[in-house]
Structure 1
Amino acid sequence: MDRGEILSLYKWATANCFRCAKTNTNATLLAEITPPAGDRYEVRVCERCVLELEQERRRYAERTGRKCAPGRLGRREP
């Protein structure tokens, strides 16, 4: 799968990247955090970080003999 195909698997909005701190960029929702105070925070990552995280997931899957499908960052694996 190429870069564009992987990125098309995610929904994008303008936000700040939690991982690299890039501001006002295309970012996708990775997680939501609700601390005890009750405020809700979104953890978003930019396109570059999504591609890096997808590559890390793929390498881990290869090392451990697991299957890996792009587009599942932030989702629980079965």
Structure 2
Amino acid sequence: MNRQQILDLYEWAPGTCFRHPDRGEVPTALVSVLHPRDTDTDEHPVRACEGCVIAIEDAKRETAARSGGIYKPGQAGGVAG
């Protein structure tokens, strides 16, 4: 799959990338949900920009190739797009 095909597997909305908060609000995809124990908030969504989603997907593909596992795009961070 090419870059755009992978990005198309995600739902995009304005948000703040967890790795690049200084960029402000940019198109982001949900990649994880944290459930902190010591806060009043039940969950904390973790969002990533396009570049970070691709970096996560690349790492998942490489890990699958090394381990002999199956790579399935569209689930960066374990959250299905």
Please give the TM-score of this superposition, normalised by the length of structure 2.
0.83
What stretches of structure 1 of length at least 5 have no aligned partner?
none
What stretches of structure 2 of length at least 5 have no aligned partner?
none
CA contact (8 A) 2:56 2:77 kept: no
Please give the TM-score of this superposition, normalised by the length of structure 1.
0.86
Match of 2:24 in 1: 23
Deviations 1:42-61 (A, max 9, x none): 11001000001100111111
Alignment of 1:1-78 (within 5 A): 1-21=1-21, 22-35=23-36, 36-39=38-41, 40-75=43-78
Aligned length in residues: 76
Aligned residues: CA RMSD = 1.5
Percent identity reads 36
